[in-house]
Protein backbone atom coordinates (compact mmCIF):
# COMPACT_ATOMS: atom_id res chain seq x y z
CA UNK A 1 0.00 0.00 0.00
CA UNK A 2 1.19 3.52 -0.77
CA UNK A 3 2.31 5.55 2.26
CA UNK A 4 1.40 9.14 2.99
CA UNK A 5 4.03 11.55 1.80
CA UNK A 6 5.95 13.57 4.36
CA UNK A 7 5.21 17.29 4.37
CA UNK A 8 8.57 17.86 2.73
CA UNK A 9 8.11 15.28 -0.01
CA UNK A 10 4.65 16.61 -0.73
CA UNK A 11 5.75 20.22 -1.06
CA UNK A 12 8.56 19.13 -3.32
CA UNK A 13 6.14 17.17 -5.49
CA UNK A 14 3.68 20.09 -5.66
CA UNK A 15 6.53 22.29 -6.82
CA UNK A 16 6.70 20.18 -9.97
CA UNK A 17 2.94 20.16 -10.55
CA UNK A 18 1.74 23.50 -11.95
CA UNK A 19 -1.72 24.46 -10.69
CA UNK A 20 -1.95 21.85 -7.93
CA UNK A 21 -2.24 23.03 -4.33
CA UNK A 22 -3.11 21.66 -0.90
CA UNK A 23 -6.85 21.42 -0.32
CA UNK A 24 -7.90 23.47 2.71
CA UNK A 25 -9.13 21.37 5.61
CA UNK A 26 -8.30 18.04 4.01
CA UNK A 27 -5.26 15.88 3.47
CA UNK A 28 -5.59 16.16 -0.28
CA UNK A 29 -4.35 18.06 -3.31
CA UNK A 30 -6.54 19.82 -5.83
CA UNK A 31 -6.63 21.69 -9.08
CA UNK A 32 -9.32 23.45 -11.10
CA UNK A 33 -8.90 22.91 -14.82
CA UNK A 34 -10.63 25.38 -17.14
CA UNK A 35 -11.14 24.47 -20.77
CA UNK A 36 -12.67 26.14 -23.83
CA UNK A 37 -16.02 24.43 -23.58
CA UNK A 38 -17.81 21.27 -22.42
CA UNK A 39 -16.43 19.25 -25.33
CA UNK A 40 -12.86 19.92 -24.19
CA UNK A 41 -13.65 19.53 -20.51
CA UNK A 42 -15.31 16.17 -20.96
CA UNK A 43 -12.65 15.07 -23.41
CA UNK A 44 -10.13 15.67 -20.63
CA UNK A 45 -12.28 13.71 -18.19
CA UNK A 46 -12.61 10.78 -20.57
CA UNK A 47 -8.87 10.55 -21.07
CA UNK A 48 -8.17 10.99 -17.36
CA UNK A 49 -10.78 8.34 -16.51
CA UNK A 50 -8.96 5.78 -18.64
CA UNK A 51 -5.69 6.58 -16.90
CA UNK A 52 -7.33 6.48 -13.46
CA UNK A 53 -8.95 3.12 -14.16
CA UNK A 54 -5.66 1.70 -15.37
CA UNK A 55 -3.92 2.99 -12.24
CA UNK A 56 -6.84 1.74 -10.12
CA UNK A 57 -6.72 5.13 -8.44
CA UNK A 58 -9.67 7.45 -8.95
CA UNK A 59 -10.24 11.17 -8.59
CA UNK A 60 -12.99 13.08 -6.87
CA UNK A 61 -14.08 15.55 -9.47
CA UNK A 62 -16.80 18.00 -10.30
CA UNK A 63 -17.62 19.29 -13.75
CA UNK A 64 -19.63 22.38 -14.57
CA UNK A 65 -19.61 23.12 -18.31
CA UNK A 66 -15.98 23.99 -19.13
CA UNK A 67 -14.58 23.61 -15.63
CA UNK A 68 -13.30 20.47 -13.90
CA UNK A 69 -12.40 20.68 -10.20
CA UNK A 70 -10.26 17.73 -9.15
CA UNK A 71 -9.36 16.54 -5.65
CA UNK A 72 -6.89 13.73 -5.14
CA UNK A 73 -6.23 11.76 -1.98
CA UNK A 74 -5.51 8.12 -1.21
CA UNK A 75 -8.38 6.77 0.86
CA UNK A 76 -6.52 3.71 2.17
CA UNK A 77 -3.59 5.82 3.34
CA UNK A 78 -5.70 8.66 4.72
CA UNK A 79 -3.83 11.31 2.76
CA UNK A 80 -1.67 12.22 -0.19
CA UNK A 81 0.62 9.51 -1.57
CA UNK A 82 2.82 8.97 -4.59
CA UNK A 83 -0.26 7.61 -6.39
CA UNK A 84 -1.93 11.03 -6.17
CA UNK A 85 1.17 12.72 -7.47
CA UNK A 86 1.32 10.29 -10.39
CA UNK A 87 -2.33 10.88 -11.29
CA UNK A 88 -1.94 14.66 -10.95
CA UNK A 89 1.04 14.52 -13.29
CA UNK A 90 -0.90 12.46 -15.82
CA UNK A 91 -3.81 14.90 -15.67
CA UNK A 92 -1.53 17.86 -16.33
CA UNK A 93 -0.07 16.03 -19.30
CA UNK A 94 -3.54 15.30 -20.70
CA UNK A 95 -4.70 18.89 -20.22
CA UNK A 96 -1.59 19.97 -22.11
CA UNK B 1 -35.53 30.34 -24.41
CA UNK B 2 -37.02 27.79 -22.02
CA UNK B 3 -39.14 29.25 -19.22
CA UNK B 4 -39.01 28.27 -15.58
CA UNK B 5 -41.58 25.68 -14.70
CA UNK B 6 -44.38 26.60 -12.35
CA UNK B 7 -44.23 24.92 -8.94
CA UNK B 8 -47.09 22.70 -10.01
CA UNK B 9 -45.57 21.68 -13.34
CA UNK B 10 -42.29 20.95 -11.63
CA UNK B 11 -43.81 18.73 -8.95
CA UNK B 12 -45.74 16.90 -11.61
CA UNK B 13 -42.57 16.36 -13.62
CA UNK B 14 -40.63 15.16 -10.56
CA UNK B 15 -43.40 12.67 -9.91
CA UNK B 16 -42.42 10.95 -13.15
CA UNK B 17 -38.68 11.04 -12.48
CA UNK B 18 -37.70 8.38 -9.92
CA UNK B 19 -34.86 9.52 -7.65
CA UNK B 20 -34.96 13.21 -8.61
CA UNK B 21 -35.77 15.77 -5.93
CA UNK B 22 -35.60 19.52 -5.39
CA UNK B 23 -32.13 20.71 -4.36
CA UNK B 24 -32.23 22.50 -1.01
CA UNK B 25 -31.46 26.19 -1.21
CA UNK B 26 -31.36 26.32 -5.00
CA UNK B 27 -33.79 26.43 -7.88
CA UNK B 28 -32.55 23.11 -9.20
CA UNK B 29 -33.25 19.39 -9.22
CA UNK B 30 -30.78 16.70 -8.28
CA UNK B 31 -30.16 12.99 -8.06
CA UNK B 32 -27.35 10.81 -6.76
CA UNK B 33 -26.71 7.82 -8.98
CA UNK B 34 -24.86 4.88 -7.44
CA UNK B 35 -23.30 2.28 -9.70
CA UNK B 36 -21.32 -0.94 -9.22
CA UNK B 37 -17.91 0.62 -9.72
CA UNK B 38 -16.03 3.43 -11.47
CA UNK B 39 -16.29 1.73 -14.84
CA UNK B 40 -20.10 1.82 -14.68
CA UNK B 41 -20.22 5.30 -13.17
CA UNK B 42 -18.01 6.81 -15.84
CA UNK B 43 -19.76 4.82 -18.56
CA UNK B 44 -22.96 6.54 -17.46
CA UNK B 45 -21.23 9.92 -17.51
CA UNK B 46 -19.85 9.36 -21.00
CA UNK B 47 -23.27 8.46 -22.37
CA UNK B 48 -24.94 11.34 -20.53
CA UNK B 49 -22.26 13.75 -21.77
CA UNK B 50 -23.07 12.89 -25.39
CA UNK B 51 -26.77 13.50 -24.77
CA UNK B 52 -26.06 16.75 -22.90
CA UNK B 53 -23.83 18.04 -25.69
CA UNK B 54 -26.44 17.18 -28.30
CA UNK B 55 -29.11 19.00 -26.24
CA UNK B 56 -26.67 21.85 -25.63
CA UNK B 57 -27.73 21.63 -22.01
CA UNK B 58 -25.14 20.51 -19.49
CA UNK B 59 -25.25 19.10 -15.98
CA UNK B 60 -23.34 20.09 -12.88
CA UNK B 61 -22.02 16.78 -11.63
CA UNK B 62 -19.58 15.29 -9.17
CA UNK B 63 -18.11 11.82 -9.40
CA UNK B 64 -16.44 9.92 -6.59
CA UNK B 65 -15.64 6.34 -7.58
CA UNK B 66 -19.01 4.66 -8.14
CA UNK B 67 -21.19 7.64 -7.27
CA UNK B 68 -22.38 10.46 -9.55
CA UNK B 69 -24.21 13.41 -7.97
CA UNK B 70 -26.07 15.43 -10.58
CA UNK B 71 -27.65 18.89 -10.27
CA UNK B 72 -29.71 20.32 -13.10
CA UNK B 73 -30.84 23.89 -13.57
CA UNK B 74 -31.17 26.22 -16.55
CA UNK B 75 -28.76 29.09 -16.08
CA UNK B 76 -30.40 31.42 -18.60
CA UNK B 77 -33.81 30.96 -17.00
CA UNK B 78 -32.57 31.08 -13.41
CA UNK B 79 -34.27 27.85 -12.49
CA UNK B 80 -35.70 24.51 -13.56
CA UNK B 81 -37.14 24.30 -17.07
CA UNK B 82 -38.39 21.62 -19.44
CA UNK B 83 -34.80 21.20 -20.62
CA UNK B 84 -33.76 19.98 -17.16
CA UNK B 85 -36.66 17.57 -17.05
CA UNK B 86 -35.67 16.22 -20.47
CA UNK B 87 -32.05 15.71 -19.44
CA UNK B 88 -33.09 14.10 -16.14
CA UNK B 89 -35.33 11.71 -18.03
CA UNK B 90 -32.50 10.84 -20.45
CA UNK B 91 -30.14 10.21 -17.52
CA UNK B 92 -32.60 7.87 -15.86
CA UNK B 93 -32.95 5.98 -19.13
CA UNK B 94 -29.18 5.67 -19.49
CA UNK B 95 -28.74 4.50 -15.89
CA UNK B 96 -31.41 1.92 -16.61
Taking only the tens place, the pLDDT of each residue in B68-80 is 999 999 999 999 9
B12-68 confidence digits (pLDDT tens) = 999 999 999 999 999 999 999 999 999 999 999 999 999 999 999 999 999 999 999
Per-residue model confidence (pLDDT) at position A30 = 98
- Residue B92, pLDDT > 80, answer yes
Q: Which residues pair with B34 in a beta bridge?
A: B67
A53-79 confidence digits (pLDDT tens) = 999 999 999 999 999 999 999 999 999
Chain B residues with beta carbon closer than 8 angstroms to that of A52 = 38
CA gap A8, B76 in Å, rounded: 46
Who's near B81: CB < 8 A, 6+ residues apart? Answer: B2, B3, B4, B5, B74
- Please tell me the class of the A7-95 domain: alpha beta
Intervals of chain A under pLDDT 70: 1
Per-residue model confidence (pLDDT) at position A44 = 98
Candidates A30, A48, A55, A62, partner chain B, best to mutate (most B CBs within 10 A) = A62
- Residue B1, pLDDT > 90, answer no
The answer to whether A78 touches A90, Cβ cutoff 8 Å, is no
Per-residue model confidence (pLDDT) at position B2 = 84
CA gap A3, A48 in Å, rounded: 23
- Among the residues of chain B, which ranges form H helices? 7-15, 38-55, 82-95
Per-residue model confidence (pLDDT) at position A2 = 84
Chain B residues with beta carbon closer than 8 angstroms to that of A61 = 62-63
Amino acid sequence: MAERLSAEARQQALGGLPGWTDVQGRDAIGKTFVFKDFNEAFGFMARAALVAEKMDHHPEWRNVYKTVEVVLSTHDAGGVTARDIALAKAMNAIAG
